[in-house]
Amino acid sequence: MTAPAIIFFLLAGIALAGAVSLILQRHPIHSALSLIVVMMALAGLYLLLGAEFVAAVQVIVYGGAIMVLFVFVIMLLNAGAEERTNLSRMARLVGLPLGFFLAFELVYWVARAGPAGSSAQTAVSSTRELSKLLFQKYALPFELTSILILIAILGAVVLAQRER
> What residue ranges bind other proteins (CB under 8 A)?
27, 29-30, 33, 36, 52-53, 56-57, 59-60, 63-65, 68-69, 71-72, 75-76, 126-127
Burial class (CB in 10 A: 0-12, 13-18, 19+), 74: middle
Residue among 7 and 63 whose Cβ is closer to other proteins:
63
All residues at 6 or more sequence positions from 154 whose CB lies less than 8 Å from its CB, including other chains: none
Residue among 88 and 126 whose Cβ is closer to other proteins:
126
Residue among 15 and 62 whose Cβ is closer to other proteins:
62
Q: Minimum distance from CB of 80 to other proteins (Å)?
A: 11
Query: 3-state DSSP call for residue 114?
Result: coil
Q: Minimum distance from CB of 52 to other proteins (Å)?
A: 5
Residue among 60 and 93 whose Cβ is closer to other proteins:
60
Q: Minimum distance from CB of 133 to other proteins (Å)?
A: 17
Q: DSSP of 39-80, one letter per residue?
A: HHHHHHHHHHTT-HHHHHHIIIIIIIIIHHHHHHHHHHHT--
